[in-house]
Structures are given as structure tokens and as C-alpha cells.
Structure 1
Amino acid sequence: MIDNILVVCEGNICRSPMAQALLAKALPLTRVRSAGCAALAGRGADPLAIELMAERGIDLGEHIAVDLNLQYMRSADLILTMTQSQRKRIEAGYPFSKGRVFRIGEFEKIDVIDPYRRGRSVFELALNQIDQSMERWVHKMNRIKN
């Protein structure tokens, strides 16, 4: 059973907080956390991420970026990365995680574009990619739980 999901991006201020919030909303009985491979630790979510999620009724105002760490990795049943490169780095750094690490865009065979410092249109594209990719994961997890 998948009770704990970890969503990972680079800085943990753009993509992973948005994906975390959307997954938590879609899977209310699942613990969803996020972290960054090279997190801007201690920083809040990017203002554009906050704005886009607020438009969906989701508040990212309390998000604080954290570095990927052993505790998060050990407790995660499923680890979703934004890119294939992040997946490979995580599996190399945490060999015990193999078989639990996947790209969020695995089914679509896409990497989610990094919108950091690239403007609202790129943030919207990244959020659309996350939405599209997340639907398949949510469907699979709901099938597993039922």
C-alpha cells in the first residue's frame, strides 16, 4: 500500500510544492511531502507557484523548502521526480530506493519543465504537465487502495 509519497524537484520552491499540494488534495488519506535535490532550503514557494495554486484554491503560503534527506527517503513508499536526471541521481545517492523512484511524467515519457525564473507562461506549462502526469498516478493509487 502507498501511504507516503515524496515529490522531488531541484529547489523545492516551484514544481514539487505544486505537485505535493495537488496530490495531497487528490489523495487526502495519503501523506505527501516534497523536497529538493538542491533545495533552496528555508525559502518559501516561488511567488508564481503561490499565485497559480491560489487560483485553484490551494494555499502554498506556508511551504518551506527542504533538502532531500535520508529520513524522507526511508519513509517514502513512492518517490516522484520531475525529471529522469533527478531519478537517476536519487537512485545513485540512495540505492535502497530503486523500484520506488519514478518520474512523475513516467507514463507520458516527459520531464516536467523547470519554470524557475522563467515567467508565468512557463509556470503554467509546468503546472499543466504536472496535472496531466498526476492523473495517471492518482488513478493507479486509487485502484491499489480499493
Structure 2
Amino acid sequence: MIKTVLVVCIGNICRSPMAEGLLRQALPNLAVTSAGLGAVVGSPPDPIAIELMGEFGLDISQHRAQQLSGTLASQTDLILVMENEQKHEIQRRHPVVSGKVFRLGEPAKFDIPDPYRQPRESFERAFQQIQHGVQAWVPRIQALAGAERE
């Protein structure tokens, strides 16, 4: 049964906070959080990510980056990453969680490139891919959480 979902990227200031916001909206009864493999702890989200999410009615401005730890990973039921390489890195760092790490774009077999320090268009592309991944995962997560489908 899934009760907790962790979304991971590199810095925890662009992709994973956006995915966290979308998943929290879609799965209000689950605990959803995010972390980074190389986060500068306490950093706010990228201003473009904040602006873009705000346009969709989601406020991620209070988010602060956190580093993925073994404790955080082991206490989470499902870990979703942006890139296949991140999946392998988590499995290398924390082998005990290997079976619960999946790529957000896995259902359609795609990675979500990092838009950090890129123009807004890169953030928009990443957001669209994140939306696609979230839409594919939500029914699966709901089924595994025992939640009613809408």
C-alpha cells in the first residue's frame, strides 16, 4: 500500500518541486514530498518554476530544497525520479530502496531534462513532460494506495 511518494531530481528547485505540487494536487490523501541528489539545502525553487506553477494555480514558493538521505528514501513507499540515471544513482547510494524507485516518465519511456539555467521554454517543456508523467502515474498510485478512482 502506498501512503508516501517522494519525487527526486538533482537540485530540488525545478523539476521535483513542480512534480510534487502536481502530485499533491492529484493525490491529496497521500504524503508527497521531494528531494535532490545534489541539493543546496534550503534553496527556494527557481523563479521560473514558481511563476509557471502559479499560472496553473499551484504555489510552490514556500518549498525549500532538501537532500535525499537514506532515512528519507527508506521511509518512502514510492520514489519517482526525472531521469534514468537518477534511478541508478539512488539504487547505488541506497540499495535497500531499489525496488521502489521508478522514473516519472517510465510509462512512456522518457526522461525529463533539467531546465535549470535554461530559458522559460525549457521549463514549459519540462512542465508538460512532468504533467504527462503525473497523469500516467496517478491511477497506478491510487490503485496501490487503495484510494477510490474519480
Given the two structures, how large is their TM-score scaled by the length of structure 1? 0.97
Per-residue CA shift, 1:15-59, capped at 9, x if unaligned?
000000100110000000100000121110000000000001111
Aligned Cα root-mean-square deviation (Å): 0.8
Per-residue CA shift, 1:99-139, capped at 9, x if unaligned?
10000001111000100000100000000000011111101
Deviation at 1:83, TM superposition (A): 0.3
Q: 1:126 aligned to 2:139?
A: no
Query: Percent identity of the aligned residues?
Result: 46
Q: Which amino acid aligns with 2:63?
A: H
Aligned to 2:102: 102
After TM superposition, the structure 1 stretch with the greater mean CA deviation from structure 2, 72-81 or 134-143, is: 134-143
SS at match of 1:76: coil
Deviation at 1:71, TM superposition (A): 2.0
Unaligned runs of 5+ in 1: none
SS at match of 1:25: helix
SS at match of 1:68: coil
Deviation at 1:70, TM superposition (A): 1.8
Aligned to 1:35: 35
SS at match of 1:143: helix
Unaligned runs of 5+ in 2: none
Q: 1:62 aligned to 2:85?
A: no
Q: How does 1:1-146 map to 2 (within 5 A)?
A: 1-144=1-144, 145=146, 146=148
C-alpha separation between the residues in 2 aligned to 1:71 and 1:98? 14
C-alpha separation between the residues in 1 aligned to 2:112 and 2:40? 19
C-alpha separation between the residues in 2 aligned to 1:88 and 1:141? 22
SS at match of 2:96: helix
C-alpha separation between the residues in 2 aligned to 1:15 and 1:2? 22
